[in-house]
Amino acid sequence: MTTEIYRDAFGIPHLRAGSARELARAQGWVTAHDRAWQLEVERHRSCGTSASFLGAEALSWDVFARRARLDDTARRCFAALERRDAETADWVRAYVAGVNEGLEQGARRAPEFAQTGLAPGRWRPWTPLGVWLGTHILFAGFPAKLWRETAVRHLGPAAVGLFATDGPGTAGSNGWLVSGARTATGRAVLAGDPHRFIEDPGVYQQIRLACPEFDVVGLAVPGVPGIPHFGHTGTVAWAITNAMADYQDLYRERLRRTGAGVQALGPDGTWRRAHRHTETARVAGEDPVEIEVIETARGPLIAGGPEGLDGGVAAPDGPPALALRHPPRVTEELGFGALLALLRARRADDIDRALDAWVEPVNVVLAADTEGGVLHRVAGWVPQRSEANLLGPVPAWRPGHDWRGRHPMPRAQLTDGVAVMANQRGPASPLGVEFAPPHRADRIRALLDERRTWSAGDMPAIHTDTHLASAGPLIDRLAALDGLTPRAARLRDRLLAWNRRMDADSADAAVYAAVRGAVVRSLAAHPAFAPLTEPPAYPDVLLPWLGLVPRIGYALEHLLKAEELYGIDRPATVRAAVEEVAAAPPAGTWADTHRLAPWRARPGTPYEPAAEPGLAGDHDCVLCTSAVPGLTDLAARAPAARYVWDLARREDSGWVVPFGADGVPGAPHHRDQLPLWTRGELVPVVTDWARLTKETAMPAPYAAAREAVHEQQVDGFGTVRILPLDPHADAAVIHAWVSEERAVFWGMNGLTQDEVADVYAHLAGLDTHHAFLVVKDGEPAALLQTYEPEADRVGECYEVRPGDIGVHLLLAPAGPDGARSGWSSALLSAVVEYVLRGLDRRRIVVDPDVRNVKAVARFRKQGFEPGPAVVLPEVDLPDVQLPEKHARLAFLPRTTAFPGDA
């Protein structure tokens, strides 16, 4: 079956292929075509290399990503995935192959590449895991532990409860399930909206994935195969919200430098050597920055060092050394084993079993199927450890803070046919410390209780509800005021009569927000909180969790309701705020200042509020459009998507994203959903292929049009094709391989891509030397070179026999150490088949560098007979000089490889 790409009227891709693997490749390709810039930004962020083209503003993240060892963790998790679940690992590889095939064309569409001078790179098999990790590493909000520690130190233990709320750095969501007993069709409806920082392009990608095994619509994460969070297979649908669980720990470390490196003091009183190395981060327009990376037995240091190092620069007054411990680094699992199982699910029980493999992040899940099955559970990996670990950083040198296994995942039942999840305390309560206030969850349930029977078409009214329950404590304080000036009294009375809805066209909502902001600023300026205003000595990337104004803004209702607040005269504070706003009241409506403020990666992109829509809603509304009270009315966080999944008729489902399906500025589908999203309307889910527009068929796998000199199906491995190398078309692939440190023995480190192309163009003109690209299932897998020994420097070092042929083989990189289980032997078996039988030769000679112990061992394992150690003389080629080489020859006779051959 030919892989096909269709689009609906909004440019949403609908993909159809003959297998799950080919479908993954198509998903990677179409994502690269539509969102090449977004993909490359995320790849660089996961590697800690984004400052190389985004500039100094991105450096803090890069330092954090490198010190936290995100890319290395992704490599380890992928290597473990290969060992534990080869099918899923191969499926991820197919997605990566599709991304690599589509990036060049996608980059030509995206103006940001030319604007920043960025050239599209090459994705590795573990890159999707790195993207996932980079997206979610701050999701559990471990920096809140630094805030709690500081607040308790200055304000006492009660501060934990006063400020415990869904803070500015945390992503939340709404979700609700109405069972068939409460719907007009007799089958369940799922609806909701994930709240995240709004990015352009968006963090969710509407997509349909269809093959003989499954046909799923849902919201994908660009850079990651499958549909992890929100999907509908036709017979079962699922959705998630952040569980607000605590599964990441911070350890204060005692470190010392020794002649051998760095040592860390453990809980048994023993100093043990920590891993240490340095990395260099390039910064566009500035000098490179050296970063010291240290990892103790607890985890990698994300702040501080033996002398208070921050980013490799000595800072004696800097932060203490903090190590981060989180499940993927410890277990080498991210939960990717659930992704294929989710696509294949048919019932709620299938979703349940799939999520047993889930790790990161920890979510509350709702699911329902067409047979009446429902699911309400928590999914993820939460360690069991002491309560102190949850509250703040703990001393690594004291016992009692180790991990003691995994928490069982809680479950819950529907209540009167309804389940609601909105980051509130619920089934996940035993797993966390800070949860969202109950207002969104309570409001959703109250709306659902207003009538008995619901339909899919009714759900947008809940999505867009603007009632602000958290306004109560401030309104109550206003009601108790007396002695106000006449104008302040009129403003107070106006707010007392207000319907407490943060509607876009409401002038009263604008006035309320102005008073609230004035109260927040006044509280933040009070001497009682002065110690919390000192700039924290932590990396900039952690600062959103540590700012006093946002903390007071989001916890305002608690601070106003508390019996006592550190001696602060709250009536006087509210009085002053009302007088201040009455003297200069807002001139317009809430939407005039409450405008969308999306994040864009490209440096220097000016924010133009007038170009973005004004919004209804507020942080504690069901329509959660979060500003930071006291700081700005602009909304950086909002619904990153909305969905309604109808289990009666999938075609009655709907979805919408803030901008559009296409990530390219100016493209027809870049912002065409924004008006619908702003109004709370949905795009219909199209399931009829006849109503879609078919695009040009999916491009063939890498170099598929090139005729192979050899093609072989290797059992349990895949299809291997050996193709004549195209020096220029394959230059980007080969240059990436030969430029790696592990390929130093190949002799081309330091060459440019053009120089590598010239070398192979020269070889292509020789009759005695030939180069080939080995492709496995459409993905470049190895570089093969053959040569006549008598025409090569090897021929000067041994007695050449008739029928001899020389071989060089460079494998594509993969895994933490460049190796994959069974990969090299499978590829070598195909190469040996081609060289000995296809070319009718009698013996292969190889000459790996004596220091390349992995290559030497690889050939011996394949049956090569050890030969002499020799010194190969220096040789000159165009643009490259191959130096003198100390090699270990090895031979594979045809009679050894194929005993049955004559």
Average of per-residue pLDDT across 637-655: 97
In 169-260, the DSSP E strands lie at 173-178, 189-197, 205-211, 214-220, 230-232, 236-242, 249-252, 255-258
Give the pLDDT band (50/70/90) at residue 314: very low
Q: How do 394-395 and 249-252 pair as beta strands? A: parallel
Does the pLDDT of residue 309 top 90, yes or no? no
What pLDDT does 610 receive? 81
What pLDDT does 39 receive? 98
Does the pLDDT of residue 471 top 80, yes or no? yes
Give the pLDDT band (50/70/90) at residue 882: low
* Inter-residue contact 718 to 91 (CB < 8 Å): no
In the chain, what percentage of residues exceed pLDDT 70? 95
What pLDDT does 332 receive? 96
* 192-196, 403-407, 604-608, 801-805: least confidently modelled range: 604-608
Q: pLDDT tens digit string along 501-537?
A: 999 999 999 999 999 999 999 999 999 999 998 877 7
What pLDDT does 740 receive? 86
Average of per-residue pLDDT across 382-408: 95
What pLDDT does 715 receive? 80
Does the pLDDT of residue 696 top 90, yes or no? no
Distance (Å, whole) CA 147 – CA 546? 5
DSSP state at residue 379: E
Does the pLDDT of residue 716 top 80, yes or no? no
* Inter-residue contact 223 to 199 (CB < 8 Å): no
Average of per-residue pLDDT across 81-104: 93
Q: Say how far residue 390 (Cα) sits from the centre of its chain.
A: 24
Average of per-residue pLDDT across 143-156: 90
Does the pLDDT of residue 878 top 60, yes or no? no
Give the pLDDT band (50/70/90) at residue 311: very low
Give the pLDDT band (50/70/90) at residue 856: confident
What pLDDT does 855 receive? 83
Average of per-residue pLDDT across 845-862: 86
What pLDDT does 672 receive? 97
Give the pLDDT band (50/70/90) at residue 312: very low
What pLDDT does 442 receive? 97
Average of per-residue pLDDT across 851-863: 85
Does the pLDDT of residue 683 top 90, yes or no? yes
Give the pLDDT band (50/70/90) at residue 169: low
What pLDDT does 167 receive? 56
What pLDDT does 405 receive? 93
Distance (Å, whole) CA 534 – CA 199? 30
From the CA atom positions of the chain, what is the Rg in Å?
Answer: 30
Q: pLDDT tens digit string along 750-762?
A: 888 888 988 999 8
Does the pLDDT of residue 768 top 90, yes or no? yes
Average of per-residue pLDDT across 695-709: 77
What pLDDT does 775 receive? 92
Where do the domains of the chain lie, and which CATH numbers do they carry? Answer: 1-137+169-247+329-390+404-446+655-671+683-699 (1.10.439.10), 248-325 (2.30.120.10), 710-897 (3.40.630.30)
Does the pLDDT of residue 313 top 70, yes or no? no
Give the pLDDT band (50/70/90) at residue 201: very high
Per-chain mean pLDDT for the chain:
91
The answer to whether the peptide bond before residue 361 is cis (omega within 30 degrees of 0) is yes
Does the pLDDT of residue 283 top 50, yes or no? yes
Average of per-residue pLDDT across 404-427: 95
* Inter-residue contact 837 to 712 (CB < 8 Å): no
DSSP state at residue 313: B
Does the pLDDT of residue 820 top 80, yes or no? no
DSSP state at residue 834: I
Does the pLDDT of residue 178 top 70, yes or no? yes
Q: pLDDT tens digit string along 439-453?
A: 999 999 999 999 999
Average of per-residue pLDDT across 682-696: 94
Long-range contacts of 380-384 (CB under 8 A, 24+ apart): 380/243, 380/245, 380/247, 380/335, 380/409, 381/247, 381/327, 381/331, 381/333, 381/335, 381/406, 382/245, 382/246, 382/247, 382/327, 382/406, 382/407, 382/409, 382/431, 383/247, 383/249, 383/327, 383/330, 383/407
* Inter-residue contact 217 to 229 (CB < 8 Å): no
Distance (Å, whole) CA 862 – CA 858? 6
Does the pLDDT of residue 170 top 60, yes or no? no
What pLDDT does 536 receive? 76
Distance (Å, whole) CA 818 – CA 744? 13
What pLDDT does 819 receive? 47
